[in-house]
Amino acid sequence: MEFFNISASQQKLIIVNHNPSITLARHLFLCRGAKVCICDNEIILLTEPAVERCPFVESFYGVSEIDEEAVRRIVRYKVDHFGFCSPKRKFIREKVVIFGSSEIISACMRLGLIDAAVVVCDGAGTVVATDAELVQGIGSIMNGVLETSPIKEVISYISSHGGEVLDPENASIDQINGVRHAISMGFKRIAVTVIAPNSHIIPKLRSLPPNDVIVIIFSTCNTVVGENEVKFLKEADIVCASASQTVREKIGPKALIQLGVTIPVFVLTDIGKRLVLAYIQECEEPLLISRVKMPFILEDKQPVSRRKREE
């Protein structure tokens, strides 16, 4: 890529990346499969979205066609309305999606089935949370965060609401050491979230806990998952398919339970099944439960990837 053929925003990011003396806050994350950076309050798309159309995005954001401009609008909405990646970050306690990871984890924490959750928050990095409301507040507006910079207001809020930031100086993302820290704090039932680009750590997470500790792995933000990552996702307890056809085809048939149709969530283990059934008991929404061959897919309700449309 020629330097002068890219946008001024991307030029700025290249300069920041290659000049250690520049310390602008930077937040790198996934949105609809696109890699996005917020740097100096600018929204910079580094790759194009992997999804062309998604029923969830259309119903939630009113966006029917997902292109680069649509991703910018979605991210800008999250920044302006929820303070995403900013000192004005809001921690929304209400349920946003019925089968979201934070919704399931927080409900199971309230029921006493999970002691602590190792999650990631923009502006803080890896967090060990013991408060159900904090877990939901962090996860309710989250995208798959790849890298973030410390925001003192966010870290302060987390620290005063039942959470401990693993690395407040750098806001690093390290789910393995987050789980280690939770174990050292004496917690026995620990949930941890892992996004697709970090799925290679799932086997390591499986081998971490001593016999008296249970680690429940939630695999999230899987739109960009590739064939090479499938073997890691198979070791998770609960896997969100996101917009990935690969997850639907390779993980779906192994599910004990499927939650949802548009964005299926596949439950792969007995402990995952117990947590999900407990969560369902707490749901006030009407639900249909049926016996089917997994996965249950309605094609007209699925996201459309760019690759699939091109094929």
> Does some domain include residue 72?
no
For residue 141, what are the CA distances in angstroms to 53, 75, 114, 137, 304? 20, 10, 22, 8, 22
DSSP state of 112: T
The distance from CA 170 to its chain's CA centroid, rounded to whole angstroms, is: 20
pLDDT at 7: 52
pLDDT at 4 over 70: no
Whole-prediction pTM? 0.91
> Does some domain include residue 281?
yes
- 261-294 residue pLDDT tens: 999 999 999 999 999 999 999 998 899 889 999 9
Residues contacting residue 107 through CB under 8 Å, at least 6 positions apart: 132, 278, 279, 282
DSSP string, 154-180: HHHHHHTTTEEES-TTTT---HHHHHH
pLDDT at 311: 42
> Does some domain include residue 263?
yes
Residues contacting residue 156 through CB under 8 Å, at least 6 positions apart: none
pLDDT at 20 over 60: no
> Does some domain include residue 243?
yes
Candidates 217, 219, 243; CA nearest to 229 is 219
- 115-127 residue pLDDT tens: 999 999 999 999 9
CA distance 54 to 291: 26
Helix, strand, or coil (residue 208): coil
Confirm if 161 and 185 have CB atoms less than 8 A apart. no
Helix, strand, or coil (residue 215): strand
Q: Among the listed ranges 8-22, 153-167, 242-256, 274-288, which one has the minimum average pLDDT value?
A: 8-22
pLDDT at 21 over 50: no
Bridge partner list, 259? 265
> Does some domain include residue 228?
yes
> Does some domain include residue 44?
no
Q: What percent of the chain has pLDDT over 70?
A: 91
> Does some domain include residue 55?
no
- 219-260 residue pLDDT tens: 999 999 999 999 999 999 999 999 999 999 999 999 999 999
CA distance 179 to 181: 5
More confident call, 12 vs 194: 194
Using DSSP bridges, classify how beta strands 189-195 and 116-121 pair: parallel, antiparallel or unpaired.
parallel
Q: How many domains does the chain have?
A: 1
Domain around 274 = 101-310
pLDDT at 25: 83
> Does some domain include residue 303?
yes
CA distance 33 to 119: 20
Q: What percent of the chain has pLDDT over 90?
A: 77
pLDDT at 59: 84
